[in-house]
């Protein structure tokens, strides 16, 4: 018997809830049907996925299968959504994925352009980190992407879109922001520094000391800014981000940090709606993001 996606979905729901009854309710099936599906999966694998009969503790194999199954179920659901969206997009479909700082600048302009230029066009906009932008392009889940840095991808072309300098982001009343003289890298290194993914793009050797010493890393920009607002922590981000941070925080250039973030516009070389994608790409390149 082959392992089917619904068997994996059933296992994942039971693992998440730790309870057959609740899992059955979520799946819209009877408890006995859920139990039978799990038994079929375990019989196929030849090993138990749970410790005991209560289904509230995974076995060592169950933990591995859970991680892999979650990924497969999520990818399957995304594929189905993409297929359905494409089938319904009689007037076209464009999916754009961007890093958050640029998405906040470009999405309103792009949406206004596309809805006016192509009535009935279906548009999907999503903001996420650079790696997930690249993944979406590589997996055919987006026609256009905006990401930090240049990363060659097969079947995807990339052109420079914009650049902005890195600088200190801290609470508005932080000493490094209120003092007359601009901060230096040494000041950043000596402070409570929070690392973020964009710091990896900085090449200045002295700054790497701050990265190596940082005990805290936060990838989500919103969570990062929330930490910074407490006044106890500082970080380094591109200047574009400063256009959207709260008034209680501040961006300030670092005098001996010349690095600038390079942002690239990515687009798939072949897509179902090539002409619309190309017009959208050209429009984004024409936007003033400075």
Give the residue-averaged pLDDT of 192-209: 88
Query: What confidence score (pLDDT) does residue 158 get?
Result: 95
Query: What confidence score (pLDDT) does residue 3 get?
Result: 85
Structure tokens at 149: 């840095």
Strands 144-148 and 93-98: parallel
Residues 6 or more apart in contact with residue 13 via CB below 8 angstroms:
23, 26, 27
Strand, helix or coil at 203? coil
- For residue 46, give Cα distances in angstroms to 15, 39, 42, 95, 98: 18, 10, 6, 42, 44
pLDDT band (50, 70, 90) for residue 54: confident
Distance, in Å, from the CA atom of 245 to the CA atom of 243, rounded to the nearest integer, reads 6
Distance, in Å, from the CA atom of 196 to the CA atom of 220, rounded to the nearest integer, reads 8
Distance, in Å, from the CA atom of 39 to the CA atom of 25, rounded to the nearest integer, reads 18
Beta bridge partners of 134: none
Query: What confidence score (pLDDT) does residue 260 get?
Result: 94
DSSP state of 58: B
Query: What confidence score (pLDDT) does residue 91 get?
Result: 64
pLDDT tens digit sequence for 136-178: 998 888 999 999 999 989 899 999 999 999 999 999 999 999 9
Structure tokens at 215: 């005990």
Is there a contact between 278 and 205 (Cβ–Cβ < 8 Å)?
no
Instruction: Walk me through the domains of the chain, giving residue ranges and CATH numbers.
Output: 5-86 (1.10.10.10), 90-161+262-286 (3.40.190.10), 164-259 (3.40.190.10)
Query: What confidence score (pLDDT) does residue 114 get?
Result: 93
Structure tokens at 112: 């206004």
Find, among 229, 221, 167, 218, the residue nearest to 195 by Cα: 218
Query: What confidence score (pLDDT) does residue 254 get?
Result: 95
Distance, in Å, from the CA atom of 187 to the CA atom of 81, rounded to the nearest integer, reads 49
DSSP state of 182: P
Distance, in Å, from the CA atom of 183 to the CA atom of 193, rounded to the nearest integer, reads 14
Torsion of CA 161, 164, 170, 175, to 10 degrees: -170
Is there a contact between 249 and 170 (Cβ–Cβ < 8 Å)?
yes
| Candidate from 75-79, 191-195, 251-255 with smallest mean pLDDT | 75-79
């Amino acid at each position: 018997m082959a392992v089917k996606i619904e068997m994996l979905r059933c296992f994942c729901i039971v693992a998440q809830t730790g309870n057959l009854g609740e899992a059955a309710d979520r799946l819209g099936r009877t408890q006995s049907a859920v139990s039978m599906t799990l038994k079929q999966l375990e019989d196929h694998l030849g090993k138990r996925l749970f410790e005991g009969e209560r289904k509230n503790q995974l076995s060592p194999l169950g933990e591995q299968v859970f991680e892999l199954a979650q990924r497969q179920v999520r990818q399957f659901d995304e594929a189905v959504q993409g297929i359905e969206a494409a089938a319904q997009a009689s007037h076209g479909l464009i999916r754009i994925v961007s890093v958050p700082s640029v998405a906040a600048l470009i999405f309103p302009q792009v949406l206004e352009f596309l809805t006016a230029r192509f009535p009935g066009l279906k548009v999907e906009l999503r903001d996420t980190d650079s790696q997930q932008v690249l993944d979406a392009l590589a997996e055919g889940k987006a026609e256009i992407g905006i990401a930090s840095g240049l990363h060659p991808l097969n079947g995807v072309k990339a052109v420079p879109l914009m650049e902005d300098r890195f600088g200190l982001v801290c609470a508005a009343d932080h000493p490094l922001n209120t003092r007359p003289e601009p901060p230096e890298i040494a000041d950043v290194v000596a402070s409570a520094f929070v690392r973020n993914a964009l710091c990896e793009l900085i090449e200045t050797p002295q700054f790497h000391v701050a990265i190596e010493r940082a005990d805290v890393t936060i990838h989500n920009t919103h969570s990062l800014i929330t930490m910074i607002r407490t006044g106890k922590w500082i970080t380094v981000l591109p200047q574009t981000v400063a256009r959207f941070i709260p008034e209680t925080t501040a961006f300030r250039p670092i005098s001996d940090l010349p690095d600038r973030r390079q942002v690239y516009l990515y687009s798939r070389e072949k897509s179902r709606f090539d002409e619309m994608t190309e017009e959208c790409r050209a429009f984004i390149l024409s936007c003033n993001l400075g």
